[in-house]
Amino acid sequence: MSLRVFIPRDSGALAVGADEVAAALLEHAHARDLPVDLVRPGSRGLYWLEPMLEVDTPEGRVAYGPVTPADVPALLDAILSDGTHPLKQGLTEQIPWLKRQTRLTFARCGIVDPRSIDDYRAHGGYRGLERALKMSSDAIIDDVVKSGLRGRGGAGFPTGTKWRTVAQAGRGQKYICCNADEGDSGTFADRMLMEGDPFMIIEGMTIAGIAVGATKGYIYIRSEYPHAVEAMNAAIEAARRTGYLGEHICHSTDSFDIEVRVGAGAYICGEETSMLESLEGKRGTVRAKPPLPAHKGLFGRPTVINNVLTFSAVPYILDGGAQAYADCGMGKSRGTKPIQLGGNVKHGGLFEVAFGITLGELVDEIGGGTLSGRPVRAVQVGGPLGAYFPRALFDTPFDYEAFAARSGMVGHGGVVVFDDTVDMAKQARFAMEFCAHESCGKCTPCRIGSTRGAETVDKIITGDRPAANIAVLEDLCNTMKFGSLCALGGLTPIPVLSALTHFPEDFGLAPRRLQAAE
């Protein structure tokens, strides 16, 4: 009997030495003549335990972490005897951090071998597609509508409605575009799925293709993710080889194929129309809407554009889970949200739960506070265009509407934790600087306003007529908010104004106390 061991190939695990641990394991096992079957899955998302090593046992997988190459000999001794070792975390599925989650989208991530289509199928993969192939286009779209699925890329637009528009947009060439640009800082869910469960994304895109009558799909992946690009390409090839992509998928009358395209470092190319321009080989400038991409998208043809997580939710829904999906969540935010905890946090990682968990639970209980051990002062939710929240707002539940009501946004679900050494005026300046750096240049409020914004914050920081300059900053923010063509210029005021509102003392103003919830 060989020992079955799992060490992630996920780039988050590689970044902290997973390859070195894998090499040490093989070397020491070889020296002991111990046959080892090493699998390289994605990550379970418990990054503070990465590199995590799991061993198959009759009771289930047992986890050890964080493992260094130097730990390997003693770890092997432990595994071969009764398993006792200081790094032992017990049965992986019983680790409280993992057990508290509701994993629908990430159900297989970290478990299956992302290179193996057989493993994917053995874990329920492709059941959604098989069912979809027997359904009418309308019936597939009805299921997606019934699930209440909203786009996970940021704006939260109802997915079924989008698909129906494209399905009804006449015949002829149509496209499916998967937005894997994941440019928001603090987010890595799309990356984890591409590296850990790529067939699910392929399956979701294929179902979308069948539903709307598109035979060609593109997945636009940012260049900062070379490992994800490789994993997606390998999975697409495997799907083609086994008849899950290409002509007559699974011997049906439907055809669908996917091509990977890699971005070139521009954040704005995550905005859907800018992504289309980029895919067409042009500068990634934003298009005015209308026409909507659903009517006139890639190369002028009707196009479905969804985020990686949106497509990934589809196989579960089509596999008979529309009602089950709709049953979790709160208000108009149905299903689960993969939340990404990062920054100065003790337990950073991916946490998938039904909507409704509060920010405070996430940061204090799940995240365990800061890594530095200092008090949490601010949390930025929703990427570089998201608001900075103080402790006083930690009772905000994760829900699109609840965050919007407090001038914030859920966005792609990134939660970045800062301790009390953070300077919020500096963070406000960074938001403006980032916008200036990433602006596509099409409209003046964003292109010029952001540069002026950074300069104005500089003046406030140096104490140059702070009151007057704060008025200028607020005015600029309003101009950007109402005068920008897209959300880059339109939402940059959110981090800036939230910093100013909740942390005025960092701008040289008298501190204000918000009422705490408790």
β pairing state of 60-64 and 88-91 = antiparallel
63 Cβ neighbours under 8 A, 6+ residues apart: 49, 52, 53, 54, 88, 89, 90, 91, 92, 95
Instruction: Say which amino acid occupies 95.
Output: I
Taking CB within 5 to 8 Å according to partner kind, which of another protein, ligand FMN, ligand SF4, none is near residue 206?
none
Q: What is the pattern of x (binds another protein, CB under 8 A) and - over residues 219-258? A: ----xxxxx-------------------------------
The sheet with strand 36-39 has its strands ordered as 36-39, 3-6, 53-57, 60-64, 88-91
Distance CA 329, CA 309 (A): 16
Q: Does 452 bind ligand SF4 (CB under 6 A)?
A: no
Distance CA 502, CA 402 (A): 17
Contact region with ligand SF4 (CB under 6 A), list: 105-113, 162-170, 344-352, 438-446: 438-446
Contact region with ligand FMN (CB under 6 A), list: 67-75, 211-219, 266-274, 329-337: 266-274
Kindly tell me which residue out of 486, 494, 496, 497 binds ligand FMN, with binding defined by CB under 6 A: 486
> For residues 153 and 321, which CB has a smaller minimum distance to ligand FMN in the complex?
153
Q: Does 485 bind ligand SF4 (CB under 6 A)?
A: yes
Distance CA 64, CA 82 (A): 14
> For residues 188 and 325, which CB has a smaller minimum distance to ligand FES in the complex?
188
Q: What is the pattern of x (binds ligand SF4, CB under 6 A) and - over residues 312-331? A: --------------------
Stretch (H or E) spanning 472: helix 466-483
What b/e readout covers 35-60, taking b as 16+ CB neighbours within 10 angstroms? ebeebbbbbbbbbbbbbbbbbeeeee
Instruction: Say which amino acid occupies 500.
Output: L
Distance CA 253, CA 316 (A): 23
320 Cβ neighbours under 8 A, 6+ residues apart: 131
> For residues 83 and 430, which CB has a smaller minimum distance to ligand SF4 in the complex?
430
Taking CB within 5 to 8 Å according to partner kind, which of another protein, ligand SF4, ligand FMN, none is near residue 305?
ligand FMN
> For residues 186 and 489, which CB has a smaller minimum distance to ligand FES in the complex?
186
Taking CB within 5 to 8 Å according to partner kind, which of ligand FMN, ligand FES, ligand SF4, none is near residue 185?
ligand FES
Contact region with ligand SF4 (CB under 6 A), list: 29-37, 334-342, 379-387, 435-443: 435-443
Phi-psi sector, 464: left (phi>0), alpha (psi -120 to 50), beta: beta
Footprint of ligand FES on 135-194 (CB under 6 A)? 185-186
Footprint of ligand FMN on 147-206 (CB under 6 A)? 151-155, 157, 179, 181-183
Question: How many H-runs (helices) and E-runs (strands) does the chain carry?
Answer: 21, 16
Question: Is residue 260 within 8 Å of residue 309, measured between CB atoms?
Answer: no
Residue 443 CA to chain centroid, in angstroms?
A: 28
Shortest distance (Å) from residue 436 CB to another protein: 13
Q: What is the pattern of x (binds another protein, CB under 8 A) and - over residues 428-467? A: --x---x--xx-----------------------------
Which backbone phi and psi does 234 adopt, to 5 degrees? -65, -40
Interface with ligand SF4 by CB under 6 A: which residues? 268, 286, 439-443, 446-447, 484-486, 488-489
Interface with ligand FES by CB under 6 A: which residues? 185-186
Interface with another protein by CB under 8 A: which residues? 11-12, 14-16, 47-48, 50, 182-188, 191, 223-227, 261-267, 278-284, 299, 340-345, 348-350, 371, 380, 384, 414, 416-419, 422, 427, 430, 434, 437-438
